[in-house]
Structure 1
Amino acid sequence: MRWNELRSEKCSLARTLSVIGDRWTLLVLREAFLRVRRFEDFQKNLGIARRVLTERLAHLVEEGVLEKHAYQERPVRHEYRLTQKGLDLYPALMAMVNWGDRHYADAEGPPLVHTHKSCGHDFHTVTTCSECGEVVDPRAVRVRPNIAS
């Protein structure tokens, strides 16, 4: 199946992958969450080809995950900022970071530590039930078709 065909699948994961499902897009999003905004900084941090970066940024803008804002008039230059749709990806990216920290960190530990500004504690991501607040384990979840769709 081709990437552009995933959008038509009756599966939320497949549809999501049609937007963010390649390595460069995920790394662009990582940089955006680390507050990188400008094309040159994305390129420098990622070591990505200009053409590839241009395509990934354009796709994320087209999908409403990022938006362009001019920061210079002559020549016109833009920065890229996460939209609310983009910010909504944070839990998913943090879950992947947590998985990588758990399974691929070296002896010194994870390369980055996340600290909650409000309480000052370092944290790792956990999935909780939106209704009762209990931590959700995949073995404690039942999935059923949505008969409304």
Structure 2
Amino acid sequence: MTTPHTDPYEVPGRPCSIAATLQVVGDRWSLLAVREVTFGNHRFRQIARNTGAPTDRLSARLKSLVADGVLERRPLPDEPRHDGYYLTEAGHDLVGVIRELLRWGDRWLTDAPPMKLRHHDHDFSLRPVCAHCGEPVTRGELHAEVAAAGWTLAGPDADPAGQGVQDA
């Protein structure tokens, strides 16, 4: 899903899907709200309590996540008069990102992780595998290929006047 304010070619700097993604979920409260919905907490008060977000900010972030197609509001099964927040397909795709943030934080920020992901009867450990060829992917095997016109990995090809861009 692309919206005009998240088009990778319209964000400042290098045209990049990371920059566009951060326009949608690049603040603490957005990703923590998605985490809570992933855990099955669909009510506003649950999400507020478990994220620690100020309610005015959380309300704004939830509205934005709904507008950007990450979450949807729909009636709660046990209280149809009240709406809850649920992941859309785009929201489900963020679960892998949240898993990686958890893995990174467990590795670099704590000696005693406060939560574990489990798969059947063992700790979950993700191993990247190429969906195209089925081979495991290791560090150093991926490379970036720039598709945005006028850009290289180092930055813009040339300035607007057609002069080469020089390093300062």
> Which bin holds the TM-score, normalised by the shorter protein?
0.7 to 0.9
> Counterpart of 1:113?
116
> Counterpart of 2:160?
none
Identify, as 1 or 2, the structure richer in helix. 1
Q: Distance in 1 between matches of 2:82 and 2:148?
A: 48
Q: 2:72 aligns with which of 67, 70, 79?
A: 67
Paired residues of 1:127 and 1:135 also in contact (CA < 8 A): yes
The answer for unaligned runs of 5 or more in structure 1 is none
> Counterpart of 2:143?
142
- Offset of residue 49 of structure 1: 1.4
Structure possessing the higher radius of gyration over alpha carbons? 2
Secondary structure of the residue aligned to 2:74 is: strand
> Counterpart of 1:26?
31
Paired residues of 1:94 and 1:125 also in contact (CA < 8 A): no
1:48 aligned onto 2:49: no
Paired residues of 2:106 and 2:113 also in contact (CA < 8 A): yes
- Offset of residue 147 of structure 1: 7.1
- Offset of residue 95 of structure 1: 0.9
> Counterpart of 2:100?
95
Paired residues of 2:6 and 2:24 also in contact (CA < 8 A): no
Moved more, 54-63 or 121-130: 121-130
Q: Distance in 1 between matches of 2:119 and 2:23?
A: 31
- Offset of residue 57 of structure 1: 0.4
- Offset of residue 111 of structure 1: 1.1
TM-score (norm 2): 0.73
Q: Distance in 1 between matches of 2:94 and 2:138?
A: 20
> Counterpart of 1:132?
133
Paired residues of 1:70 and 1:79 also in contact (CA < 8 A): yes
- Offset of residue 121 of structure 1: 2.6
Q: Aligned Cα RMSD in Å? A: 2.3
1:37 aligned onto 2:64: no
TM-score (norm 1): 0.82
**Cα distance per residue 1:100-126 (max 9 Å; x no partner):** 1111122xx311111124xx3321233
Which structure has more relative contact order (CA 8 Å, sep 6+)? It is 2
* Counterpart residue identity of residue 116, structure 2: V
Q: 1:12 aligns with which of 8, 12, 17?
A: 17
Number of residue pairs the alignment of both structures matches:
139
